Amino acid sequence: MRYLYFGIVFLFFSCKSTHINLLTQKVPDALDSLKYAEEVHIKNVRQLTFGGDFAEAYWSFDDKKVVFQASSEKWGAKCDQIYVFDFEKWRKTNDAPPMVSTGLGRTTCSYFMPGDKTVIYASTHEADPDCPPVPERRADGKYVWPIYDSFDIYEADLKGNIIRKLTNEPGYDAEATVSPKGDKIVFTSLRSGDLELYTMNIDGSDVKQITHQLGYDGGAFFSPDGTKLVFRSSRPKTAEDIKVYKDLLAEGLVMPTNMEIYVCNVDGSDLRQVTNLGKANWAPFFHPSGERIIFSSNHASKRGFEFNLYMINVDGSGLKQITFDKVFDSFPMFSRDGKRLIFSSNRNNKGTHDTNLFLADWVE
């Protein structure tokens, strides 16, 4: 989940045609200035947005679109709403791309459904049409995320019409993603009293709890063959950490500063911890081979807020740094054909706090 406030101004490209296919646009090697010299696994890096903060851009099944969340006063969205970006049909325009959420409440964690004609996302709009309150800076200095109990998961078409409500339980239901097989959805829920992973069928039926240990389990994605899950988790062990976790959860908050990456089978069996790096390891996603995981981490940072992308084998071996930004790289997702990587970064923001969307070709 991403609790930042997003404002986007899309890049104007110089092109004679009405449409610009961003998937085929190439940057000459000599002009590939948006990557660092150490970043040998990405090339042809294109910055897709300027002047805002946004993330969680996820590919469609046909690799031609991404769905993402954004807030922009210019677009009339005071807090996060869901938009679709079509790489093949992008026009040179200053208008917002199509919004597929209601424009009410706050939304998060969108994903394409099979067929690419509908998307799922979580929203608070039924509880209140206004944006929910943002946690104030805490006196104890803890960095926290709000867990809004009014989040439920919805399916909508690409014109913004809600087709069905997929969850209807008290408490937080969000962070939903869809299996590449097109049969299952995984999501995080507080319905048991703790933040656990659940699966359900595409229509919302046959809900099953997958994780059962105390701690925040979230941000789950399926493996390419749909048989496994990768996710982030905070698993408090000491009496003090458990108390802090439970006390914050009672306030509708979690502290995402100590998380590791885990994998398990879709039914929750064979649960294994992949990383043991310390600090915050999150936003994991399977490499198309299913044998490696890309994720974001600040474990090597002395200041705590330098996040970069890393890759690791599913057995925890072979850790390798992928990006080398000085502030923030996260939310990586491979296209389904494995040719491209989309991610969010603070690179090239001229010293501002802007987090923008970047598209790169993947190099093995």
**Residue 231: closest CA among 196, 183, 191:** 196
CA distance 158 to 120: 10
Residue whose token pair is 């959420």: 101
Does residue 181 register a pLDDT over 80? Answer: yes
Helix (H) or strand (E) holding 243: helix 239-250
Residue 141 has pLDDT above 60, yes or no: yes
- CA dist., res. 322 & res. 302, Å (int): 18
CB 218 within 8 A of CB 108: no
Share of residues in the chain with pLDDT > 90 (%)? 76
Give me the pLDDT at residue 19, please. Answer: 63
> 9-362, which class in CATH?
mainly beta
Which residue type, as a one-letter code, is found at position 85? Answer: F
Helix %, strand %, coil % for the chain, to 5? 5, 40, 55
Domain locations in the chain as residue ranges: 9-362
Query: Which tens digits make up the pLDDT trace of 298-350?
Result: 999 987 779 999 999 999 999 999 999 999 999 999 999 999 999 999 999 88
Looking at every residue in the chain, the average pLDDT score rounds to 90
Q: How do residues 84-139 score in pLDDT, each as one tens digit?
A: 989 887 654 556 889 999 999 999 999 999 999 999 999 999 999 999 999 888 88
Q: Can you read off the two tokens belonging to residue 107? A: 């939304």
